Structure 1
Amino acid sequence: MSSDSSSASLSVESPTPSKAASARKYIDAVLEQSFRHLFGPTATPEQPRKHEVVSIAKLTGTLSTYLKKNELKEVKAAFHFSDEAHLGQYRQSGEPYITHPVAVAEICADWKLDAQSIMAALLHDVMEDQGVTKTELAERFGPKVAELVDGLSKLDKMEFRNREEAQAENFRKMLLAMARDVRVILVKLADRLHNMRTLGAVPTEKRRRVARETLDIYAPIAHRLGLNNTFRELQDLSFANFNPRRYATLEKAVKAARGNRREVVGKILEAVQRSLADAKIVADVNGREKTIFSIYQKMRDKQLSFSQVLDVYGFRVVVEQPLECYMCVGALHALYKPVPGKFKDYIAIPKVNGYQSLHTTLVGPFGTPIEFQIRTRKMHEIAESGVAAHWLYKNGSADLNDVQKRAHQWLSSLLDIQSEAGDSTEFLEQVKIDLFPDAVYVFTPKSRIMPLPRGATALDFAYGVHSDLGNQCVAVKINNELLPLRTELKSGDIVEVITAPYSKPNPAWLGFVRTGKARAAIRHYLKTMRFNESVQLGERLVDQALKGYRLSLADVTPEVWEKLSLWTGNRNRQELFADIGLGRDVAAVMAKRLEVLMSGREGDPEALAGADSPSHHPGGAGGAAVVITGTEGMSVQLSPCCRPIPGDAIMGYIGIGLGMAIHTADCRVAQRIHRRDPERWIDVAWAPQPGRLFDVGVKVLVKSSKGVFARVAGDITSADANIVHVAMDENIDQEITELRFIIQVSDRVHLANVLRRTRGNPDVVRISRERPSEEPPGRHDGGIRIDRERRDF
Structure 2
Amino acid sequence: MGIRSFAAELLLPASLQPRAKTPAAAGQEPKVDPASFAALSDHLHYLGKAEVKQIREAYKFADEAHLGQFRASGEPYITHPIAVAGLVADWRLDAQAVMAALMHDAMEDCGVTKIELIQRFGAPTAELVDGLTKLDKLQFSTREESQAESFRKMLLAMARDVRVILIKLADRLHNMRTMAAMAPAKRMRIAQETLDIYAPIAHRLGLNMIYRELQERSFEFLHPWRHAALAKALQRARGHRRDIVERVRGEVEKSFGAAKLKVQVSGREKTVYSIYRKMREKHAGFAQVSDIFGFRIVVPQTMDCYLALGTLHQLYKPVPGRFKDYIAIPKANGYQSLHTTLVSPLGTAVEFQIRTEQMHAVAESGIAAHWLYKQKDKGGAGSPADAQRLGAMWLKSLLDIQDETRDASEFLEHVKIDLVPDAVYVFTPKSKILALPRGASAVDFAYAIHSDVGDHTVAAKVNGEPVALRTELKSGDVVEVITAPGARPNPSWLNFVRTGRARSKIRHFLKTMEQEESRALGEKLLAQALRGEGMVLPSGELDDMTAQALWAQLARWSGNRGRADLLVDIGLGKKIATIVAKRLAQLMTEQGRRPDAVTLTMNRFRAAEEAVPALHGVVIDGSEGASVQLAACCRPIPGDEIRGYLGRGEGLVVHTAECSVGKRLAERDPERWMAVEWAEQPVKNFETSVKLLLRNGKGALAQVAQAISSAEADISHIDMDNEPQSEAVELRLLLAVRDRQHLADVLRTLKRAPPVLRASRLKS
TM-score normalised by length of structure 2: 0.88
Pick aligned residue for 1:60 from 41, 47, 56: 41
* Counterpart position of 2:244: 264
1:572 to 2:567 alignment: no
* Counterpart position of 1:490: 474
1:214 to 2:194 alignment: yes
* Counterpart position of 2:269: 289
Q: Rate the CA distance shift 1:392–1:180 in 2: closer, same or farther, 3 A.
A: farther
1:229 to 2:213 alignment: no
Pick aligned residue for 1:696 from 688, 693, 704: 688
* Counterpart position of 1:318: 298
The CA distance in 1 between the partners of 2:580 and 2:234, in whole Å, is 74
1:744 to 2:725 alignment: no
Structure 1, unmatched stretches of 5+, are 1-50, 603-613, 774-793
Q: Deviation string for 1:420-458 (max 9, x for gaps)?
A: 223211111111111121111111111111111111111
State the shift of 1:220 in Å.
0.8
Q: Deviation string for 1:330-365 (max 9, x for gaps)?
A: 111111111111111111111111111111111111
The CA distance in 2 between the partners of 1:601 and 1:322, in whole Å, is 80
Conserved in 1, the CA contact under 8 Å of 2:39 and 2:82? no
* Counterpart position of 1:422: 406
* Counterpart position of 2:445: 461
Q: Deviation string for 1:150-188 (max 9, x for gaps)?
A: 111122211122222221111111111000000000011
Residue type of the alignment partner of 2:747: L
Q: Rate the CA distance shift 1:735–1:200 in 2: closer, same or farther, 3 A.
A: closer
Q: Rate the CA distance shift 1:207–1:701 in 2: closer, same or farther, 3 A.
A: closer
The CA distance in 2 between the partners of 1:312 and 1:763, in whole Å, is 64
* Counterpart position of 1:305: 285
Q: Rate the CA distance shift 1:686–1:441 in 2: closer, same or farther, 3 A.
A: same
* Counterpart position of 2:698: 706
In our comparison, the structure showing a higher alpha carbon Rg is 1
Mean Cα displacement is larger for which, 713-722 or 192-201?
713-722
* Counterpart position of 2:313: 333
* 1:527-606 correspondence runs (5 A): 527-554=511-538, 558=547, 559-600=549-590
Q: Could you say what the CA RMSD is over the residues aligned between the two structures, in angstroms? A: 2.6
Residue 157 of structure 1 aligns to a residue whose secondary structure is: coil
Q: Deviation string for 1:525-554 (max 9, x for gaps)?
A: 222221211111111112222333443325
Conserved in 2, the CA contact under 8 Å of 1:113 and 1:394? no
The CA distance in 2 between the partners of 1:647 and 1:347, in whole Å, is 65
Residue 496 of structure 1 aligns to a residue whose secondary structure is: strand
Conserved in 2, the CA contact under 8 Å of 1:114 and 1:393? no
Q: Rate the CA distance shift 1:395–1:507 in 2: closer, same or farther, 3 A.
A: same
Q: Rate the CA distance shift 1:412–1:393 in 2: closer, same or farther, 3 A.
A: farther
* Counterpart position of 1:122: 102
The CA distance in 1 between the partners of 2:330 and 2:236, in whole Å, is 35
* 1:761-776 correspondence runs (5 A): 761-770=753-762, 772-773=763-764
Pick aligned residue for 1:402 from 380, 386, 389: 386
Q: Rate the CA distance shift 1:534–1:555 in 2: closer, same or farther, 3 A.
A: closer
State the shift of 1:763 in Å.
4.0
The CA distance in 1 between the partners of 2:552 and 2:248, in whole Å, is 84
* Counterpart position of 2:333: 353
* Counterpart position of 2:632: 640
* 1:84-483 correspondence runs (5 A): 84-391=64-371, 401-483=385-467
The CA distance in 2 between the partners of 1:60 and 1:530, in whole Å, is 58
Conserved in 1, the CA contact under 8 Å of 2:195 and 2:218? yes
State the shift of 1:142 in Å.
1.3
* 1:43-58 correspondence runs (5 A): 54-57=35-38
State the shift of 1:599 in Å.
4.0
* Counterpart position of 1:11: none
Residue type of the alignment partner of 1:71: E
TM-score normalised by length of structure 1: 0.85
* Counterpart position of 1:23: none
The CA distance in 2 between the partners of 1:484 and 1:534, in whole Å, is 31
Q: Rate the CA distance shift 1:211–1:562 in 2: closer, same or farther, 3 A.
A: closer
Conserved in 1, the CA contact under 8 Å of 2:630 and 2:655? yes
Conserved in 2, the CA contact under 8 Å of 1:541 and 1:622? no
Residue 485 of structure 2 aligns to a residue whose secondary structure is: coil
State the shift of 1:754 in Å.
2.5
Conserved in 1, the CA contact under 8 Å of 2:337 and 2:353? yes
State the shift of 1:562 in Å.
4.1
The CA distance in 2 between the partners of 1:457 and 1:372, in whole Å, is 32
Q: Rate the CA distance shift 1:246–1:685 in 2: closer, same or farther, 3 A.
A: same
Conserved in 1, the CA contact under 8 Å of 2:91 and 2:372? no
Conserved in 2, the CA contact under 8 Å of 1:560 and 1:597? yes
Conserved in 1, the CA contact under 8 Å of 2:635 and 2:689? yes
Q: Deviation string for 1:17-66 (max 9, x for gaps)?
A: xxxxxxxxxxxxxxxxxxxxxxxxxxxxxxxxxx96844446433322x3
Residue 752 of structure 1 aligns to a residue whose secondary structure is: helix
Q: Rate the CA distance shift 1:197–1:685 in 2: closer, same or farther, 3 A.
A: same
Residue type of the alignment partner of 2:81: P
Conserved in 1, the CA contact under 8 Å of 2:550 and 2:587? yes
State the shift of 1:410 in Å.
0.5
The CA distance in 1 between the partners of 2:299 and 2:704, in whole Å, is 71
Q: Rate the CA distance shift 1:505–1:396 in 2: closer, same or farther, 3 A.
A: farther
Mean Cα displacement is larger for which, 424-433 or 305-314?
305-314
Residue type of the alignment partner of 2:292: V
State the shift of 1:630 in Å.
1.5
Q: Rate the CA distance shift 1:104–1:762 in 2: closer, same or farther, 3 A.
A: closer
The CA distance in 2 between the partners of 1:393 and 1:637, in whole Å, is 60
Residue 532 of structure 2 aligns to a residue whose secondary structure is: helix
* Counterpart position of 1:685: 677
Residue type of the alignment partner of 2:491: P
Conserved in 2, the CA contact under 8 Å of 1:52 and 1:96? no
